[in-house]
Structure 1
Amino acid sequence: MSPATPRTRRLAVVGLATASLITTLVAAPAAADPPDPAIDTGDPAAVAAASVTPSPPPEPATITNPVSSPFADSYADPAVLRGRDGWFYAYATSDPLVSGGEFGLMHMARTRDFADWEYLGTVFDDATRPAWAAPGSFFWAPDVRYVNGEYRLYYTVTDSLAKPGADPGIGMATAPTPAGPWTDIGRPVLESQVLAEAGATAFDLRDYDGAVNSPRELRSPELAATESARAAVPAYQGLIDPSVLADTDGSLYLYVGGFAGGPHVTRLDDTGTTAIGELQQIAVSDRYEGSYVVQHDGAYYLMVSAAGCCSSVASGYSVFAGRSDSPFGPFVDAAGVPLNQSRAGGTQVIAANGNRWVGVGHHAVVTDTTGQDWMVYHGIDRNDGWLNEPGGINKRPMLVDRLDWIDGWPVVNAGAGPSDGPEPGPVTGSALGITTDDPASGRAFRALTGSFASVPDDDGDAGQVAALRPGRRVPAVAVARELLRGENRVEADVRLAGADAEACVRVDGLRRGVEVCVDGAARELVVDARPGGRDVTAAVPERIDLEGWHTLVVTLEGDAVAAELQESRLGDPIARAVADVRRGGGVEGLLSLTARGAGADLDNLSVARLAEGPTTRVPDPEVGDVTYTQTFDGSLDDVLADGWTLLGEHPGLTTADGALSWPLTSGDIAGANGAGPVLVRDAPAGDWVLETDLELDLGTDTVRNFQQAGLLVMADENFFVRLSSVAIGHSRTVEFFTEREHQGVLLLGGHLDGPPATEITLRILRTENAAGEQLYRSAFSIDDGVTWRWGMTWTLPAGTDVRIGLQAGGGATPATTAAFEEVRIRDAA
């Protein structure tokens, strides 16, 4: 953005128009009425507006997760967009919509308020299905955008006709409305690519059967392809889960990729239909997928889902974030740890919290009319994980929760995690009596000069729009009948009626004023917050046609006014300008809409008080004093005599140098026939905290699946949770893993956190909920307990008898030894 010369002509015209308003608004209050201290009593127009009884502020509907339950049993990998018709549209992956249903070639639904929904059908049918996709291909993870005046749907095709085997690539379809009809462009935007290091990851698409999608244990031998079949086709990179970002220079970026190769970014050409340039990796493979990038306060935030989406009630799926000053990264977490390294970081955005929801992730972000962000994502009910038969398709309905920004980082419900009861939903309406999707209807505005009329959008899908047209020698000015007070967010879809036209939002009539304009002649977004001073401008990218619809957002907050011009209204502005308000005061007064030249059309106009979200996170759990310590200064027999029991084969296990020295073997407790070594004792009664100090050198970058060591809470050999430092493919991570049976199917899954370190302290907190169910939450520290990263919560039934202790194994090559310094039990605070 840059300063420009004063626009005195504009100020003079609008100022004159405001003065003329004195005779057109309702009368001022009687002299006996006490003056409103917010009103400049020297301005009769402001006093007149202040006398109008304020319309009630917009209220949110009450929503309850899963919000998709009125029309769907499952609605996975959701994407969301507000159409120009004012509806919010949600799209989902190609799983069946309901139990017993057929795969649906992706789904569409819409809502006005996120409480009441209407199912619209599938994106494709047999006649419109992309011809370049193989007959057995799935269609995953749609991402929807509004680019260059049309709706775009990007999606994963898991198998193309062009190459042998499962070769995922990214397709795109266009439509004149968000409800379709959708037409595929006839080729991939990004075609499949062979994995550079076949066999060097923990996940191979050749093992995929359509029911599971995990980086590790879910690929059972029964589901894996035979070795001969595997050898006949290459291993492809996991080019799945597309997401598009538009930037302020007009560039379009495609984020794509999952466990097989990792998340990447590449540029798209100006048409958005072809990937150009090289794929650049932005996060480690074998941990992350489902990339989604937004801009916030001038930075780029990459949010990615970690672990397996689809291990039913054992899914530890969750979302983490990294931040960068470039769309290409590097993205680092709140502690400065990069996401694209073997010991990857990531600041947790959402994870299971012990209520009904697990497997929470693969999300999109939408902003309501107050400026509050919301996460739209899927989850799995921990008591109802299958859509059809046990062991088949996961049941993943759509959830919506508040996304807060605290200390510069996104977090769901201030860190409380997914909700499972009634909550206030997104605000989608407007104050000042404005009919959002037909702004010129009703009595919210009065045309002062020119005309302000409700007309049909004959050239698009917006429905009724407000046509703001100047007179022969005067601009069009429409003024709100009510006074604007306090910190507000003003938003409108704007379409210039000519290339040289201009449309503005202005607040004045009090002690201060501000004007934000879309200037077609200069191709600029202009903020004028200092009458008689210099404007702040931002260039509109050349590929943008201002005679098409774009969203103008004006935020009046504190001592600043911020303006953004957006295409998709999804946190990716194409122009942004920020200015300080004159004399350090707030902006309040009369709201007016103006147009010059050929005029402008406006739609989806809203005015709402800025959201006042939480400024502090939900506090991390506190722990109590140490009540038990097991040291390893003596012999292993001394340990066993103190109430510990060894299970499984454990060659070389001994005590040495004050630690329990445990050489890793290939034995692993995980799996139906798991026989890995464990050291356990009875758990204490009530709530407690289990801790250990672990030294385990797993190196970095090389593949040494799945060497690990850590803590264990075990009901039996097929029902347990464990917290480990573990090697998965190229990544090193802290995994909070579970094995359990659900409706006759043995399930394995985990929550992936990090970064680990060679020396790490692991912690499991045990509490109970009101129903007596046992809640186990993970945490770890790599700085001797100075700071802790708290993870997700696994739940065990009430009354479950457990033993607690240590475990190690998962792989014998290369040789390495875990050293446990001691085991501690604390009181839970």
Structure 2
Amino acid sequence: MHIAAVATLVASLFAGPVASASPPAAFENPVSKDIADTFADPAVIRGLDGYWYSYGTSDPMHEGEGKHHRLPIARSTDLVEWTYVGDAFGENELPPYAAPGSLLWAPDIRYLDGRYVMYFTVTNTTSTPHQWDYSIGVATSPTPTGPWTHQAAPVVPPRPSGDSYWNTIDPSQFTDVDGTKYLYFGGFFGGMWVTELTADGLRTVGKPSQVAIDNKFEGAYVVRRDGYYYLLASSANCCAGPTTGYSVLAGRATSPRGPFVDREGQPLLASRAGGTPVVAPNGDRWIGTGHHAQLTDVAGQDWMLYHAIDRSDPFLDQPYGINERPMLLDRLDWIDGWPMVRAGAGPSERSDEAPVTRGSVHDGFSGDLSAWRDTNGWSVRDGHISGTGTLTARLGMGGDLRAETDLRVKDGATAGLRIGEATATVSADGLTVTAGAARRTVALPGGAATWRNLAVTVKGHTITAEVTSARLGDPQATVRLEARVPLAGAFALVTEGAADFDNVSAAHLTKPVTRPVPVPEPGRRLDGDEFDGRGAGWTWVRQDPAAKVAKGALTWPVQSADLVGTGNTASVLLRDAPQGDYIVETKVTLDLGEDTVRNYQQAGLVAYASDDDFARLSQVSIWNTRQVEYGRELPFAGRLSYGGNIAGPPAKTTWLRLAHHVDPANGEHEFRAASSRDGKTWTWAGVWTFPNGTTPRIGLVSHGGAQPPVDAEFDYVRVYRTR
């Protein structure tokens, strides 16, 4: 945007947003539909002006536009309806170290010490002749919309690897409770890393640490919750058109440097890398669900903004061009200590609930003070309120609730919120919660002289106060007390000495979802083979004479063959599938070792309509990693498209399931994948679909490469009716 345009925009936002009295009770995805056909890799922040802002990767925003936007910016009052407000950078506003024609990808936005700081990927620099010598850029601004000032050098420069460069991409900043700033970055080629930053967030300090293995993760986002650091990252290919299986997986640690492990204790740095699913395609309109940002609404509910692909319209313009990835919004639940989108239901086409962005008490101080009592000594100026003493809301609050304010405390002052007979205040001493005789103070790194967000939650007799820079899951101070005084009644701003307040809100606390949605469970057994010599019903596609049944197992040497592409040289062992909902399960032992490259040896289950129309669930060697990949190949626009979704980590012996369901609305065959390392604890992954009118069979595969020789040993195949 031109400077004049920026000035006009800032002036128009000066008074803050005008939120409707009745925010939307429901919405349809994608939430970016009114501003763009594609808005990938979304970042989000609520500005001090009260608006929510989202930032997308550099793509054309509309069909037929043909021109890349350099980090487009949108704003919203409710996180559902968005307005495009311009691009962060104009045509001639690349960083000084960027090569001409460079693209800027995957922004991350933060509010650090009184200014907005944006990190982003720069695809090409002038420092090397290589075409893709990725680096991490950084720019600063006094407002969420600019003007943005590039730093003279990348915060993370290109990192050479032989005659190429590691994927230094997808930045995500995090500030810890001691005030230390970190930056997470990296991708499939080179792994995911964390580095400490200087106090201003613009340069690195010391040596980076690797937190996740290469060839599995990208798009990091870190939050701190209940003493754990959660690393949420995207896995599989972001951009495979109609077969994009992108999804988000999570690990957690007790340090921001890791080691991060999943729900089963599997490290994200291991060759058989772990990862607990957060969101994956569920068989509806959306596939490619990933590269996200997180936020908390004023009622305490977490939400995830992420991109996805409409499987019926996967490309922006011509097929196999730019993938069309609009922005989605869905509820993020925390169940048994792990994040799950919609309690495991996955992406929504329509949500029956929306974020609470306007509480029962709500004031951005753009008008009068009629919502408050005893206003003497308080005045509105520059879009916020300043004063000393107590400013009490006319509306009292009771029950479980959450209240928040942005505040800035002057030298020697103490300021905060009062709820009933408890207070939470910040000062140079830190964050203090007082409830009757109980009192606790924790340090607040960096002090309170710049704008911070104070959020106070009342649940039963427990009061919890938290200070963040911008409400993005990185609390710098947290205090929790059991209160023996009333926590209902008057709601007020309190200060001893001068302080500024803005964006005050109080809302009844959201009741959290604590149970995951049900997953498929096997019921009555219908069919199968124990490989005891009595099995029947199998047919071959290109029979492999090396496959033998003996001693209660099918032993099948991994073939130097494959199904992906037009070659179709691999053998497939098939049987007819039952009608209706069912689960097919196998137990397969495949010793792929660890860390070495054995591309792409694999064995597992297949749902098969033809050589060019199948879904394959197998434990597989992908470069140095061992993964359970749920791949899909299908014909699209005159070509074959292949992409994968990732299930749980494999063991030497891995149990695999495909759960089949016919969608009554459209007759599609939905196959959902699951894997287990012990046959008892199952990790459920994504869904691939087959069109109405097809008749997929079910079976086994063992292929991908013959060197070094290895046998796949199948103990059984069992087919159950789904309970």
**Counterparts of 2:298 and 2:98, CA distance in 1:** 39
Contact 2:585 2:656 in 1 (8 A): yes
Question: Is the 8 Å Cα contact of residues 764 and 776 (structure 1) preserved in structure 2?
Answer: yes
What are the within-5 Å matches in structure 2 for residues 173-252 of structure 1?
A: 173-195=139-161, 234-252=163-181
Letter in 2 for 1:806: L
* Within-5 A mapping of 1:126-205: 126-165=91-130, 166-195=132-161
Q: Name the SS for the 2:205 alignment partner.
A: strand
Q: Is this contact kept in 2: 1:695–1:758, CA < 8 A?
A: yes
**Equivalents in 2 of 1:686, 1:548: separation in Å?**
61
Aligned counterpart for 1:477 among listed residues 367, 390, 396: 390
How far residue 440 of structure 1 moved from its aligned partner, in angstroms, is 7.0
- Return the index of the structure with the highest Cα Rg: 1
Instruction: Give the aligned residue type for 1:592.
Output: A
The residue type paired with residue 438 of structure 1 is F
d(CA) in 1 for partners of 2:365 and 2:25?
20
The amino acid that maps onto 2:39 is: Y
Paired AA for residue 431 in structure 2: L
Output the amino acid matched with 2:672. R
2:242 match: secondary structure: helix
Aligned to 1:229: none
Cα drift, residue 104 of structure 1? 1.2
Amino acid at match of 1:556: V
Q: Does 1:451 align with 2:380?
A: no
The answer on 1:500 being equivalent to 2:400 is no
Corresponding letter in the other structure for 2:52: F
Give distance in 2, aligned partners of 1:81 and 1:808.
Answer: 47
1:577 aligns with 2:479: yes
Name the structure 2 match of 1:705: 599
Aligned partner letter, 1:316: G
1:605 Cα deviation from its structure 2 partner: 0.4
User: Which amino acid counterpart does residue 258 of structure 1 have in structure 2?
Assistant: G
Contact residue 779 and residue 789 of structure 1 kept, 8 A: yes
Give the deviation of 1:662 after TM superposition.
Answer: 1.0
Per-residue CA distance 1:714-769 (angstroms, 9 max, x = gap): 11111100100111122111111100122223211111122111112211111111
- CA distance in 2 between counterparts of 1:139 and 1:387 reads 18
**In 1, distance between residues paired with 2:706 and 2:100?**
42
Partner of 1:538: 442
In the TM superposition, residue 799 of structure 1 has moved relative to its aligned partner by 1.3
| Pairing partner for 1:403 from 326, 329, 332 | 332
Q: Are the counterparts in 2 of residues 430 and 607 from structure 1 also a CA contact under 8 Å?
A: yes
Query: Do structure 1's residue 486 and structure 2's residue 392 form an aligned pair?
Result: no
Following TM superposition, by how much is the alpha carbon of 1:504 offset from its aligned partner in structure 2, in angstroms? 2.4
Q: SS of the residue aligned with 2:396?
A: strand
1:555 correspondence with 2:521: no
Instruction: Name the structure where strand makes up a greater proportion of residues.
Output: 2
Q: SS where residue 313 of structure 1 aligns?
A: helix
3-state SS, counterpart of residue 717 of structure 2: strand
In 2, distance between residues paired with 1:653 and 1:507? 71
Asked if structure 2 preserves the Cα contact closer than 8 Å seen for 1:268 and 1:274, the reply is: yes
Task: Give the letter aligned to residue 484 of structure 1.
Answer: M
Q: Give unpaired runs (5+ residues) of structure 1.
A: 1-55, 199-233, 457-463, 471-475
Cα distance in 2 for partners of 1:181, 1:672 equals 51
Q: Deviations over 1:505-524 (max 9, x none)?
A: 1123xxxx21111113x3x1
Q: Please name the residue that 2:521 is paired with.
A: 622
Q: Distance in 2 between matches of 1:370 and 1:451?
A: 30
Query: Which segment drifts farther, 102-111 or 684-693?
Result: 684-693
User: Is 1:326 paired with 2:326?
Assistant: no
CA–CA distance in structure 1, aligned partners of residues 515 and 657 of structure 2: 24
AA matched with 1:465: H
**1:768 and 1:774 in contact (8 A); partners too:** yes
After superposition, what is the alpha-carbon deviation per residue over 1:218-237, rounded to whole angstroms, capped at 9, x for unaligned?
xxxxxxxxxxxxxxxx2211
Q: What are the superposed Cα offsets for residues 599-635 of structure 1, whole Å, 9 maximum, x if unpaired? A: 111111000111112111111112222111223333x
**Correspondence for 1:364:** 293
| Paired residue secondary structure (1:685) | coil
Task: Measure the CA separation in 1 of the matches of 2:308 and 2:147.
Answer: 29
Question: Shift of residue 568 of structure 1?
Answer: 2.1
User: 1:763, 1:779 within 8 Å by CA — same for their partners in 2?
Assistant: yes
Q: Does 1:394 align with 2:307?
A: no
State the 1:782 CA deviation. Answer: 1.9
Partner of 2:598, secondary structure, is coil
**Alignment deviations for residues 120-164 of structure 1 (CA, whole Å, 9 cap, x no partner):** 121111222212112232211000000011001100011111012
> Which residue pairs with 1:64 in the alignment?
28
Deviation of 1:277 (Å): 1.6
Q: Give the secondary structure class of the aligned counterpart of 1:257.
A: strand
Give the counterpart letter for 1:706 in structure 2: Y
Q: What TM-score do the two structures reach when normalised by structure 1?
A: 0.82
**1:379-414 residue CA offsets vs partner (Å, 9 max, x unmatched):** 001111010100111000000000011111111111
Provide Cα deviations, 1:566-605, integer angstroms capped at 9, x if missing partner.
Answer: 11220111222222212xx6611212212222x1111110
Q: Percent identity?
A: 45
Per-residue deviation, 1:657: 2.4
Report the residue type matching 1:807 in the other structure: V
- Partner Cα separation in structure 1 for residue 25 and residue 123 of structure 2: 38
For residue 553 of structure 1, report the CA deviation from its aligned partner.
Answer: 0.9
Alignment-derived partner of residue 7 in structure 2: none
Moved more, 376-385 or 684-693: 684-693
Structure 1 residue 343, shift from structure 2 partner: 1.2
Amino acid paired to 2:211 = I
2:661 partner SS: strand
CA-CA distance at 1:482 after TM superposition: 2.1
- How far apart, in 2, do the equivalents of 1:261 and 1:761 lie? 30
For 1:91 and 1:677, the matched residues in 2 are separated by: 47
Residues in 2 aligned to 1:737 and 1:455: alpha-carbon distance in whole angstroms:
58
The CA distance in 1 between the partners of 2:568 and 2:166, in whole Å, is 30
Corresponding residue of 1:808: 702
Unaligned ranges ≥5, structure 2 = 1-19
Pair 1:781 & 2:676 matched:
yes
Retained in 2: the 8 A contact 1:553–1:565?
yes
Kept in 2, the 8 Å contact 1:314–1:739? The answer is: yes
- Alignment partner of 1:654 out of 525, 531, 548: 548
Structure 2 counterpart of 1:574, one-letter code: Q
Report the RMSD for the aligned CA atoms in angstroms: 1.7
**Equivalent position SS for 2:80:** coil
- Does 669-678 or 167-176 show the bigger shift? 669-678
Q: 1:119 aligned to 2:84?
A: yes
**Deviation string, structure 1 residues 670-695 (Cα, Å, up to 9, x no partner):** 11223212111332333322221111
CA deviation string 1:180-238 (max 9, x = no partner): 1112112100011123xx6xxxxxxxxxxxxxxxxxxxxxxxxxxxxxxxxxxx22111
1:280 equivalent in structure 2: 209
Residue 96 of structure 1 and its aligned partner are, at CA, apart by 1.1
- Aligned residue in 1 for 2:504: 605
Corresponding letter in the other structure for 2:528: T
1:81-107 per-position Cα deviation (integer Å, ceiling 9, x unaligned): 000000000000011111122111111
Do 2:463 and 2:480's aligned partners in 1 also have CA atoms closer than 8 Å? yes
| Maintained 8 Å contact 2:330/2:351 | no
Identify the residue that residue 380 of structure 1 maps to in structure 2. Answer: 309
- Say whether 1:526 aligns with 2:432: yes
Note the C-alpha offset of 1:339: 1.4
Q: Secondary structure at the match of 1:482?
A: coil
2:222 to 293, 316, 331: 293
Q: TM-score, structure 2 length as denominator?
A: 0.94
CA-CA distance at 1:60 after TM superposition: 4.3
- Contact 2:632 / 2:644 at 8 angstroms: preserved in 1? yes
Aligned positions of 1:610-689 closer than 5 A? 610-634=509-533, 642-648=536-542, 650=544, 652-689=546-583
Q: Which residue of 2 aligns with 1:27?
A: none
1:442 CA drift (Å): 3.9
Q: Which amino acid aligns with 1:174?
A: T
1:339-376 deviation per Cα after TM superposition (whole angstroms, max 9, x unaligned): 11111211111111111001001000011100110000
Match of 2:10 in 1: none
CA distance in 2, matches of 1:649, 1:181: 65
Q: Which amino acid aligns with 1:74?
A: T
1:307–1:316 contact (8 Å) kept in structure 2: yes
Are the equivalent residues in 1 in contact too, given 2:57–2:104 (CA < 8 A)?
yes
Partner Cα separation in structure 1 for residue 63 and residue 313 of structure 2: 12
CA–CA distance in structure 1, aligned partners of residues 120 and 287 of structure 2: 25
Is this contact kept in 1: 2:276–2:648, CA < 8 A? no
